[in-house]
Amino acid sequence: MGDFFANLSLGFGVALSLQNLGLAFLGCLVGTLIGVLPGVGPIATIAMLLPITFGLDPTGALIMLAGIYYGAQYGGSTTAILVNIPGEATSVVTALDGHEMAKQGRAGVALGIAAIGSFFAGTVATLVIAALGAPLTGLALVFGPTEYFSLMVMGLVFAVVLARGSILKAIAMILVGVLLSTVGTDLETGEERMTFGLPFLSDGIDFAVLAMGIFGIAEIMRNLDHTEHRDVVRQAIGRLLPNRDDFRQSYKPVVRGTILGAILGILPGNGAVLGPFASYTLEKKLAKDPRRFGRGAIEGVAGPESANNAGAQTSFIPLLTLGIPPNAVMALMVGAMTIHGIIPGPQVMTKNPNLFWGMIASMWVGNLMLLVINLPMVGMWVRLLKVPYRLMFPAILMFCAIGIYSINSLPTDVMFIGLFGFVGYVLIKLGFEPAPMLLGFVLGKLMEENLRRALIISRGSLETFVNHPISAGLLAVAAILLVIALLPSIRKGRDEVFVED
């Protein structure tokens, strides 16, 4: 327990420095902004902002990027409640009751309970990360290349099972991502692989180029497909603070949503998405009168909003302790860490304790900032909602082009984000989710590295993966999960979980 407080104290010392406070505030502000504006998600934003983190120290850069991610969960609720358009996938269920409350003149109360529930969940999730960080890192230190390879296989299987849409399409996207990760020069033999004789591919595909194209540019193209229609609620927002009766109805959903979100957030492939759906279903089942749901029940806002924020934060646990990104946003964080020369994994805690604990403490500080940013500034967010997308996208496009060119000063990088953007757009149109591809791309390199090491140690014997008990256990879990997910009855139930309305 002494170490726990000493570590948190170290973290707050780092997080409360003037520069890191400023970066956390900037991240939270940008996160709220992109959460509020429909059509610009945290994945696209983090991909677009990767180039500007080059000039920052690694701790500050990661604090800012983390702030964007959990800030977007806050901002998404504002759009869901006021416009009935979820700014974020995690706010889909908030729109059901939140917008009904807004139409009844209780938008302020809905926004207030969403912010308070999110703050509570964020605080609890920060403590969970701090408590689990040290023991999990200790466990990860006994992992060798064999165990790491099997762990990554299990992580990818989880990503397949929890991804939206067809399982076969998710598997295909992961395999494409792994294949793309092998482009470039082989570090051991010096041979060029799949470069087609093109010199700019000899160093491999740049992570920032792929991420910005697949998520940033493709997202802009997808948004231009839809006719813009925003039905901003016309009723008065009303008081922001819930009354005693609202609190009495909400405190249990907030606690249950926090627990559910924190647990589901740790699962690879999920992040913060599954928690709100599970919380809404649970609250509806526990309610004395389930017919109230969908007609302005405050529990339908309190539970899911707490769950998505708790899940957003606990999804950092696999990344910080094991070095395994559980979702696309965390894959971008891995990219940001490697850009700064930090190898994700258990060594982060021992070699960069300032970064590890500083980032954890900054999450609590960021949650406090979000409470201040969201409630008093709600009027400004409402006005921003009226800015048409046709005025925003040229600026976003220009920002992407300048950002990617500033990394290597290569015109081919600008052309490549256009190419990957078009590919990403076509994939979305065909029902392929690009997130598993980025996960496959990031984990592909790590898997190849660990596979080679494991085979060298075992003198080329594949039996090493089943002879090591931990590795065998992880592979068995992966195989069982995949078989269960492919069963027709389970596939049908899985699709229903992700139905949005």
State residue 155's pLDDT score: 81
Q: Is the pLDDT of residue 476 over 90?
A: yes
State residue 1's pLDDT score: 64
- Domain total of the chain: 1
Q: What is the pLDDT of residues 96-106, one digit of tens each?
A: 888 888 888 88
Positive or negative, the CA dihedral 373, 377, 382, 385 is: negative
Q: How is residue 339 written in tokens?
A: 């850009």
Q: How is residue 152 written in tokens?
A: 């990554």
Taking the C-alpha atoms of residue 249 and residue 271, their distance in angstroms, rounded to an integer, is: 27
Average pLDDT over residues 343-350: 76
Average pLDDT over residues 11-29: 90
Q: Is the pLDDT of residue 152 over 70?
A: yes
Name which residue leads in pLDDT, 281 or 383.
Answer: 281
* Cβ pair 321, 272 in contact under 8 A: no
Residue type at position 82: L
Q: What is the pLDDT of residues 106-128, one digit of tens each?
A: 888 888 898 889 889 988 988 88
Q: Is the pLDDT of residue 263 over 70?
A: yes
Query: Which residues have a Cβ under 8 Å from the Cβ of 351 and sit 6 or more positions away?
Result: none
State residue 257's pLDDT score: 92
Q: Is the pLDDT of residue 498 over 90?
A: no
Taking the C-alpha atoms of residue 46 and residue 208, their distance in angstroms, rounded to an integer, is: 10
Taking the C-alpha atoms of residue 396 and residue 213, their distance in angstroms, rounded to an integer, is: 12
Q: Is the pLDDT of residue 76 over 70?
A: yes
Q: Is the pLDDT of residue 492 over 70?
A: no
Taking the C-alpha atoms of residue 188 and residue 150, their distance in angstroms, rounded to an integer, is: 22
Tell me phi and psi for residue 49, to 5 degrees: -90, -5
State residue 500's pLDDT score: 43
Helix, strand, or coil (residue 185): strand
- Judged on CB neighbours under 10 Å (0-12, 13-18, 19+), 168 is exposed
Q: What is the pLDDT of residues 392-434, one digit of tens each?
A: 778 778 877 887 787 777 888 888 889 998 998 999 888 888 8
Query: Which residues have a Cβ under 8 Å from the Cβ of 83 and sit 6 or more positions away?
Result: 38, 99, 230, 231, 232, 233, 385
Name which residue leads in pLDDT, 400 or 259.
Answer: 259
Q: What is the share, in percent, of the chain residues with pLDDT greater than 70?
A: 91
Query: Which residues have a Cβ under 8 Å from the Cβ of 480 and sit 6 or more positions away?
Result: none
Q: What is the pLDDT of residues 430-448, one digit of tens each?
A: 888 887 888 888 888 888 9
Rg (CA), the chain: 22
State residue 39's pLDDT score: 61
Name the strand (E) or helix (H) holding 192.
strand 192-193
| Token pair 């209780």: residue | 106
Q: Is the pLDDT of residue 390 over 60?
A: yes
Band (pLDDT 50/70/90 cuts) for residue 501 is very low
Query: Which residues have a Cβ under 8 Å from the Cβ of 485 and sit 6 or more positions away?
Result: 160, 161, 167, 491, 494
Average pLDDT over residues 376-381: 76
Taking the C-alpha atoms of residue 338 and residue 18, their distance in angstroms, rounded to an integer, is: 25
Taking the C-alpha atoms of residue 81 and residue 74, their distance in angstroms, rounded to an integer, is: 11
Average pLDDT over residues 144-171: 82
Taking CA atoms, 462 is separated from 84, 132, 179, 215, in Å, by 53, 33, 21, 37
Q: What is the pLDDT of residues 210-254, one digit of tens each?
A: 888 887 788 788 878 876 666 666 666 777 788 888 889 899 999
Average pLDDT over residues 61-83: 83
Taking CA atoms, 317 is separated from 41, 116, 330, in Å, by 22, 23, 10
Band (pLDDT 50/70/90 cuts) for residue 274 is confident
Taking the C-alpha atoms of residue 65 and residue 71, their distance in angstroms, rounded to an integer, is: 10
State residue 422's pLDDT score: 92
Taking the C-alpha atoms of residue 306 and residue 115, their distance in angstroms, rounded to an integer, is: 9
Name which residue leads in pLDDT, 387 or 459.
Answer: 459
- Cα 18 vs. chain centroid, distance in angstroms? 26
Query: Domain span at residue 135?
Result: 1-498
State residue 198's pLDDT score: 82
Which one, of 271, 262, 275, lies nearest residue 329 by Cα? 271
Average pLDDT over residues 65-82: 82
